[in-house]
Amino acid sequence: MRQFFTLRFWLTLLALVGLAVGVAAFARTRESDAEPAVEPGAASSERTIDLVSWVYAVQPPPGFDIVDGRTTTDLALVLDGTRTMIVKAGTQGEVTCERLIELAQCTVAADLLGDGVLWFSIVPGVPGPTTELPAVTELLDGGWVRLANGWVVAHAPVVDRSCPDDTASLTDFIELFGDTARATWNFEQQQIVKVTCPRAPLGTTTSSTVLPTTTLLPLDPTAPTLPPDPGEGEDGA
């Protein structure tokens, strides 16, 4: 009988099995990489913000809503005369601007990939050169800082520290005031340009002017009075 199961046959079969195992392992790796890091609709606690801009007009179509953290329809945000941001249906985001459909009453922050919006937040904010953002809580590498709300945004090379108390650096300011301070974002520079320490609460001043106690006491009717001036009140009779 002719021998079919030669050494070459077994080597070929082994090579085919190895190739099949390799393809299966590669497919599992691709599927694992494609799985989202969070469940659909779940909001991330940290966002890298590529754009913060005030919005001239928001144009929500009929039926627009945020359901499970995602838009139900496309949403157009007119930023100015030359730029309109299109947020596609199914994009993760949030809207806290109550005057959404009024002109120039909201500001948008967005995490972008090219021109595409990965995540957005529409918050109250009127037009102007700057807007106020939550406090800077951490200084990061590469010109970035983390805010108290989890946003990661760019900061200017020199950040103005506005406070009566002296601080040696932005890191020192952060350690001293934490998330009780405020940050100022410049729309033109697209950076944090200033941090401001919290306002002192009323009644915490260490010095004050005290009025004399005699001006605060009521007149005592039993207290002796000075005699009248002889030159006053006489009728000469």
Quick check: 233 pLDDT over 70?
A: no
For residue 58, the model assigns a pLDDT of 95
Residue 142, strand partner residues: none
**Domain residue ranges of the chain, discontinuous segments joined by +:** 47-124, 130-196
> Mean pLDDT across the chain, nearest whole number?
78
Mean pLDDT score, 2-10: 57
Rounded to the nearest 5 degrees, what angle is found at the Cα of 134, between the Cα atoms of 128 and 136?
Answer: 115
Among 153, 134, 135, 133, smallest CA distance to 144 is for 153
Per residue in 160-177, pLDDT tens? 999 998 999 999 999 999
Mean pLDDT score, 206-233: 41
Global pTM exceeds 0.75: no
For residue 6, the model assigns a pLDDT of 66
Residue whose pair of structure tokens reads 């946003």 in the numeric block: 151
Cα–Cα separations (whole angstroms), residue 230 to 35, 224, 225: 104, 18, 15
Quick check: 95 pLDDT over 50?
A: yes
Cα–Cα separations (whole angstroms), residue 155 to 52, 70, 185, 194, 208: 13, 29, 9, 9, 39
The CA distance from 70 to 87, in Å, is: 10
Identify the residue with better confidence: 101 or 6: 101
The CA distance from 172 to 166, in Å, is: 9
For residue 8, the model assigns a pLDDT of 64
Structural fold of domain 130-196: OB fold (Dihydrolipoamide Acetyltransferase, E2P) (2.40.50)
